[in-house]
Structure 1
C-alpha cells in the first residue's frame, strides 16, 4: 500500500516545508522515504513498537542511542482503515517537533489514501476496458461466456438484461497526443453522467468509447444521440455514435459490438454529418461491404452502366435510394429529397432512358438500389 516512490516524495517535500527531517517506514520498520537520503533502506527500530501499539512515541537523545537506526524525535503510526501500514518520524528535539507530529502524520495519511483511491480507480478502469475489449473479440471456442459474465458481475454489471452497444467516436477538435491522457477521463465522466450506474461505459482508444446501456428508457437511436450530444455540450467536441442491435448475454453483445462498429463506419460513408447511426438502417450496406470492392464495382458497372458516368450521378443516386426507401411513393420521395414532384419524375425518366429499365419496375429498381448503395461505399 505504501510505495517507496510515494513515501520518498512525501518525506522530501515535508522536510523542506517544516525544516526538520521526516522519514517514513513501511510496515516492517524499513525506511522507504527520508529527507536525509542516507537513511533510505535502514532499519528504524522504534517503529516496531509504534506499529504494534498504533501509538506515537517520543525519544530523547539518550533513548534514541539505545535503539537501532533511531535519532531523537517523534515517531507516529500511519493508519489506513484501522491498519498500521507504516510510520512517520520527525527528527529533532521532542519538544520542538511535537507540534508538527499530528499534522505530518495526517497529511501523510491523506496523501496515501488519495494514492490508494487513485490506484483503485485506475485498476477498475483497466478492468472495464479489458472486459469490453474481451466482449468485442469474444470467441466461444476459446473463452467460456459464463466467465465473462461473472467478471462483469464482479464489476457491478448484469449482462443478462437487454442491452445494446454504442460506439462513440470523438473527432473535433482532435486532442493532441500529449493531452489524450487528460481528456479521456473527462470524456468518460461526461458519458457516465449522461447514462446510469447500470450502463457500462469504457474507453476503447483515446477518441473512441464503448457503451453497453440497458434498454429500460429511450430508444436505441435516442441513446446514441444522447451520447454524442453529451460530448458536444460538455466539451465542444464533434462526436457521432454507431448503435448495434438489441442483445442479451455475452454472445449477443459480441454481435451487437460488431454491428455498432459497422454502423459507425458505414454511417459516416453513406450519411456524413449524422449523429447516431443505427445498424438496422444499414443492413444492406453491411452485406455489400462484406462482399468486397471488386464485386461491388462489377455490380455498379453491370447494373448502372452509363448512368454512373453522368455529371448529375450523385443526384440520380440519391433519387433512386430515396425512391426505394420511400416505398416507391412519389409524394414521400419528393418530400424526402426536398424537391418538386415534377423534378422527381424528370430524374426517374432519365434513369429509365439510360438504363432501359422502367422506373415503375420495382424489381429492376431494387437491383439499381443495391448498385447505388455499393457506389456509396466505394
Structure 2
C-alpha cells in the first residue's frame, strides 16, 4: 500500500508546506523516504510506537537519547480504510509544527487514497480490455473465461453490437478524469461495456433494443457527439452488426471495417451501409501497394497532380467544381488532366480508366 515511490511523493508534497525535514516510515519502523537521504533504510523507534499505538507521538529533545533513530518533532500515524499503513514524521520543535499536524495527516491520507483508487481503476481498465481481446479471438469459452466475465460483471448471454471510436490525439488523451467521464456516460446501459482500446481508440459493446426503431443508430450518433464534446477533438465511429455473444468477433471486425471506411467528411459509418468498401477491405496491403505502383506511381513525385486527381474525385468528377475548389482556370485543369493521362496512360474521361484511378487514390490514402 505505502510503497517507496508513493512515500517519496508524499515527502515532496508535504515539503511544500513546511521547510522541515520529513520522513515516511512503514509499519515496521523502517524509513522508506526522507528529505535527508542518509536516513532512508534506517530504523525509527518513535514511528514504530506511533504505528502500534495508532496515535500521534511527540518526540522531545530528551527522547532522542532514549528512542533509537529519532529526532525531536512529531510522528503521525497514517490511516487507510481504518488501518495504520505508515507514519509520517516531521523534525522540528513540536510546539511549532504540531498545529500543522492534522492538515499534514489528512493530506497524506488523501494522497494514499488517490493512489489506491487510481491503481484499482487502472487494474479494472486493463482487465476489461484484456478480457475483450480474448473474447474477440477465443474460439471456445473455458471455465476460466466465464469466471473472468463474472468477476468483471460482463453478461455473456445477451446480443451485442460493437462500436469502435477513434480519436485524433496521442496515447495521453484519456487521463483519469476524462476516462471517468466517458465511463459514466448517462446513456450507458447497465449491461453495456465501454473500454479503452489501444492508444487512441475506445470500444463500446452496445445492447440493442429491438422494440425501438433506429435505437442503435441514434445512440451511436449521440455517443460520437458526446466523445467529440468530451475530448474536444474529432472522433470517428465504426459500428458492426448485432451479433450473438458467441459470434461477437464478427461484429468486432465489421466495426473495424466500418471505422477504416470513415472519410474526412464521414465520421460515423455502419458496416451494414458499406458496399464497395467491403470489397476493398478484403484486398491485402501488398496488392494495394502493387496496384498503386502499376497505375499512378509516375504521379507521386508531383503533389499538384495528385491533389488535382483527389479533388476531381471529391467533387464527383465535376470539372467546374474541381477547378473552383482548386482556384484554377478550367483550361489549367484540362492541362493537368492531360498530363495525368500522359504519365499514367489512364484517361480520367474514360469510365474504366477513371475507376482505376479512383481505386489507386483510395489505396494511396490507405
CA distances 1:51-93 after superposition (whole Å, capped 9, x unpaired): 2221222222222312211122222211100111001112233
2:172 corresponds in structure 1 to 181
Structure 2: any 5+ residue segments left out of the alignment?
292-311, 318-350
Q: 1:155 aligns with which of 152, 170, 173?
A: 152
Gap change, CA 1:94 and 1:259, over 3 Å in 2: same
Q: How does 1:161-176 map to 2 (within 5 A)?
A: 161-171=158-168, 175=169
1:253 corresponds in structure 2 to 248
1:306 corresponds in structure 2 to none
User: Shift of the alpha carbon at 1:122?
Assistant: 1.8
* 3-state SS of 1:220 partner: helix
Gap change, CA 1:188 and 1:86, over 3 Å in 2: closer
Moved more, 228-237 or 38-47: 228-237
Aligned partners of 1:224 and 1:242 also within 8 Å = no
Q: 2:223 aligns with which of 212, 220, 227?
A: 227
Gap change, CA 1:243 and 1:42, over 3 Å in 2: same
**More helix by percentage:** 1
User: Shift of the alpha carbon at 1:12?
Assistant: 3.9
1:242 corresponds in structure 2 to 238
2:207 pairs with 1:214: yes
Aligned partners of 2:236 and 2:262 also within 8 Å = no
Structure 1: how far apart are the matches of 2:361 and 2:9?
Answer: 58
Structure 2: how far apart are the matches of 1:316 and 1:84?
Answer: 71
Structure 1: how far apart are the matches of 2:73 and 2:313?
Answer: 87
User: Shift of the alpha carbon at 1:118?
Assistant: 1.6
User: Shift of the alpha carbon at 1:375?
Assistant: 9.2
2:203 pairs with 1:203: no
CA distances 1:1-24 after superposition (whole Å, capped 9, x unpaired): 112122123224424532332211
Gap change, CA 1:198 and 1:155, over 3 Å in 2: same
CA distances 1:4-50 after superposition (whole Å, capped 9, x unpaired): 12212322442453233221101211111222222111111122222
Gap change, CA 1:181 and 1:41, over 3 Å in 2: same
2:278 corresponds in structure 1 to 286
CA distances 1:128-187 after superposition (whole Å, capped 9, x unpaired): 222233233x1326xx3553343233223223222210011224xxx3x4xx41456566
* 3-state SS of 1:79 partner: strand
Aligned residues: 299
User: Shift of the alpha carbon at 1:254?
Assistant: 1.9
Aligned partners of 1:8 and 1:34 also within 8 Å = yes
1:364 corresponds in structure 2 to none
1:140 corresponds in structure 2 to 139
Aligned partners of 1:125 and 1:202 also within 8 Å = yes
Report the RMSD for the aligned CA atoms in angstroms.
3.5
2:320 corresponds in structure 1 to none
Aligned partners of 1:191 and 1:227 also within 8 Å = no
Q: 1:264 aligns with which of 259, 267, 281?
A: 259
Structure 2: how far apart are the matches of 1:94 and 1:31?
Answer: 20
2:268 pairs with 1:276: yes
2:93 pairs with 1:93: yes
Structure 1: how far apart are the matches of 2:120 and 2:360?
Answer: 50
Q: How does 1:107-118 map to 2 (within 5 A)?
A: 107-118=107-118
* 3-state SS of 2:241 partner: coil
Gap change, CA 1:187 and 1:239, over 3 Å in 2: farther
Q: How does 1:3-22 map to 2 (within 5 A)?
A: 3-15=3-15, 17-22=17-22
Structure 2: how far apart are the matches of 1:182 and 1:375?
Answer: 33
Structure 2: how far apart are the matches of 1:313 and 1:10?
Answer: 60
